[in-house]
A = this chain, B = another copy of it.
Amino acid sequence: MRIALFGCGRIGRVHADAIASHPRAELAWVCDPMQDIARELAAQHATSATADTAAVLADPTIDAVVIASSTPTHVDLLARAVRSGKAVLCEKPIDLDIARVDACWAEIGAAEPLVMVGFNRRFDSSIREVRDRIRAGEIGRLEQLAITSRDPAPPPAEYIAKSGGLFRDMTIHDLDLARFMLGEVVEVQAMGANLVEDYVEKCGDIDTAVVIMRSAGGALCQIANSRHCAFGYDQRLEAFGSTGMLAVHNQLPTSVRYAGPGRTEAAGPYSGFFLERYGPTYRAELDHFITAVEKGGPLEPGFADGRAALVLANAADKSMRTGSAVPIAPAPPL
């Protein structure tokens, strides 16, 4: 499968590695308006660089595209790629504006396009193991789900300003994870706070949040977020069911433990940030994409999942602002 990559930034380079090392994929083009970084990445993988999006999409030998460019460019690239007959793996979020998301789908939906959204955590081996064991009935009916997600340190002010806010930028991963475990959500409540950095508040954003949700099946879900964490990247999940509990604990780079005066059983810091903790998910995600495209679909998580997570983020934001629970209407059929 010949794949073109749009976007050669940090996450683009991760996708380039995944494509280049996949046994059935070829990194055919890397495309970025900043030609320097495109050329550098192309050289690294012995492929071609360009800034010409149209030329890439017009190349009939390209089977699929990976969209890892900046968020505002996603819907346009996605729609054009679909019109060009390419399968698409698009980084999350589809867009920060639900209206633009829906307009995109209105344009492409009839074509029943092969579109996958990059919620990479669904491909983490620990998270997937928990879901598989839940589905196998190991903990009975899922009653409560608790997700803890804290970044090591807040991004700079300029990132915050364009991020769409904590719920759409950061919590969205946890909201997708909740849907991955629980299915559809019907009610959202949220509280936010500014405890970390003044510039976050100046940007009109929050840096700390808690969210509670009710699923269509009746289960209750909790999410805790912070833009900083003194002990590293805090990524945990607890699925409490009628007959047991499955938890994903934080992960350590080595299995070394220390005991000495004043402390025992002490481990080192948790695995760095998302590239360390979730690095292998990008390859697993790409493999799922390629395999599913080869079969003609379905792709999961798909466009509808990308939309649904944004709807929940918007609801959390609204609940925080109004102090009221926000009901979630059933999604329109996509």
Contacts and interface: CB of A to CB of B under 8 A. Distances in A.
Interface of A: 125-126, 129-130, 133, 138-141, 143-144, 146, 148, 150, 187, 189-191, 193-196, 208-214, 218-222, 224, 226, 228-232, 240-270, 323-325
Contacts of A212: 189-191, 210-212, 222
A284 to B, nearest CB: 13
A300 B243 CA distance: 38
Tell me how many chains of this kind the complex includes.
Answer: 4
Nearest to A214: B191
A236 to B, nearest CB: 9
Given A254-B129, A323-B324, A230 B193 contact: no
A92 to B, nearest CB: 23
A214 to B, nearest CB: 6
Given A224-B144, A267-B266, A246 B256 contact: yes
Contacts of A242: 195-196, 228, 230
Contacts of A214: 191, 193
21 contacts: A133-B256, A138-B258, A143-B208, A146-B146, A146-B224, A187-B323, A189-B323, A189-B325, A191-B213, A208-B220, A210-B220, A222-B222, A228-B242, A230-B241, A243-B261, A247-B256, A247-B259, A248-B255, A263-B267, A266-B266, A266-B267
Most chain B beta-carbon neighbours within 10 Å: one of A139, A228, A256: A256
A259 B243 contact: no
CB-CB nearest 6 A-B residue pairs: A244-B260, A323-B325, A266-B266, A231-B259, A126-B254, A249-B255
Given A208-B220, A245-B230, A269 B262 contact: yes
B208 A231 contact: no
A263 B264 contact: no
A211 B130 CA distance: 25
Contacts of A325: 189, 191, 323-324
B264 A270 contact: yes
Nearest to A251: B255
Contacts of A140: 230
Given A191-B325, A193-B218, A248-B256, 8 more contacts: A129-B254, A139-B260, A144-B210, A230-B260, A231-B263, A245-B259, A249-B257, A323-B325
A264 B323 contact: no
A168 to B, nearest CB: 19
Contacts of A150: 240
A96 B219 CA distance: 28
